[in-house]
């Protein structure tokens, strides 16, 4: 009758753990699948709560609780009176969600963006490990330099699974206006959901120092980011080197 009916029985596999899960979690998983499969695309309006409730044969309250969690995870966006929308990187508020480098004074503003290099390579062992690929699988490598008010501040390297980013070229990156994650979402169907960063302080090597126009040995903040899409699948490795003379990395502890 409803998804829960197959639940308390402990059913099927005898050796496995019972794998209980509340109804609203099952509904949440079903909705997430629809998001992942592209049944509703980023930016689009989703079916209303009552519609989903009738589709899944549960009460509206149960659907609400499922969507509550999806909204808390920034997968969807609720707007009273209008409906629930699939989250997208093409919005003002999304632009700064993964940008933690803030100017010491004033508000964050758009950076000048210079693509230095784009190429397809075989994944080095370390990259393959972090992206959960086989060593030697193809990856797209990107190197770019970003400047604020003419001052080079961020040097970034990216590694993306070649399988998912087939047509990614320097031209596409240069042409594209707006955040890079917007491009990934619209053109390659890969949406970044969350990420973890490991941060260190290191001395700039000769090449990096030259690009950032600082003396060799200048302390840099280095952030190694692994980004995940639906299903906690790693789909981006990013190494950012930040000059923190007039900027800082913002971290909220809660």
Which stretches of the chain bind DNA, using CB under 7 A?
2, 4, 8, 20, 22-25, 46, 48-51, 58-62, 64-65, 78-84
Given 92, 105, 232, 252, the residue binding its own copies (CB under 8 A): 252
Q: Closer to DNA by CB, 56 or 165: give it.
A: 56
Site for its own copies in 70-99 (CB under 8 A): 73-74, 97-98
Determine how many CB atoms are found less than 10 A away from the CB of residue 233.
Answer: 15
Q: Is 250 in the site for its own copies (CB under 8 A)?
A: yes
Cα–Cα dist 183/90, whole Å: 9
Given 198, 206, 231, 232, the residue binding its own copies (CB under 8 A): 198
Residues contacting residue 73 through CB under 8 Å, at least 6 positions apart: 193, 194
Q: Closer to DNA by CB, 58 or 241: give it.
A: 58
The interface partner of residue 60, options being DNA, its own copies, none and the CB cut-off 5 to 8 Å by kind, is DNA
Q: Is 180 in the site for its own copies (CB under 8 A)?
A: no
Q: Is 174 in the site for its own copies (CB under 8 A)?
A: no
Residue from 169, 166, 149, 161 nearest 229 by CA: 161
Calculate the alpha carbon distances from 13 to 6, 66, 141 in Å: 13, 27, 44
Cα–Cα dist 156/79, whole Å: 35
Cα–Cα dist 148/24, whole Å: 46
| Binding mask of the shown chain, residues 209 to 238, with x at each position contacting its own copies by CB under 8 A | --------x-xxxxx-x-------------
DSSP string, 80-101: TTTEEEE--SSSHHHHTTT--E
Q: Which residues bind its own copies (CB under 8 A)?
A: 73-74, 97-98, 100, 102, 193-203, 217, 219-223, 225, 242, 244, 248-254
């Amino acid at each position: 009758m409803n998804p829960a009916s197959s639940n308390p029985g402990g059913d099927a596999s005898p050796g496995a753990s019972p794998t209980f899960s509340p109804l609203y979690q099952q509904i949440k998983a079903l909705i997430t699948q629809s998001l992942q499969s592209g049944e509703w695309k980023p930016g689009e309006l989703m079916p209303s709560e009552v519609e989903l409730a009738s589709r899944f044969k549960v009460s509206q309250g149960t659907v609400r609780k499922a969507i509550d969690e999806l909204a808390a995870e920034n997968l969807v966006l609720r707007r009273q009176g209008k409906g629930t929308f699939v989250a997208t990187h093409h919005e003002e508020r999304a632009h700064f969600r993964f940008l933690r480098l803030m100017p010491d004074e004033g508000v964050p503003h758009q950076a000048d963006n210079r693509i230095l290099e784009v190429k397809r390579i075989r994944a080095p062992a370390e990259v393959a490990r972090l992206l959960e690929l086989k060593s030697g699988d193809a990856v797209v490598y990107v190197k770019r330099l970003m400047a604020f008010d003419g001052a080079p501040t961020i040097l970034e390297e990216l590694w993306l699974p070649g399988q998912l980013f087939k047509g990614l070229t320097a031209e596409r990156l240069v042409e594209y206006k707006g955040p890079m994650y917007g491009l990934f979402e619209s053109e390659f169907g890969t949406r970044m959901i969350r990420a973890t960063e490991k941060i260190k302080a290191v001395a700039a090597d000769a090449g990096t120092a030259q690009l950032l126009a600082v003396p060799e040995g200048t302390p840099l903040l280095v952030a190694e980011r692994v980004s995940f899409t639906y299903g906690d699948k790693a789909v981006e490795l990013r190494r950012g080197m930040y000059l923190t003379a007039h900027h800082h990395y913002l971290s909220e502890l809660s």
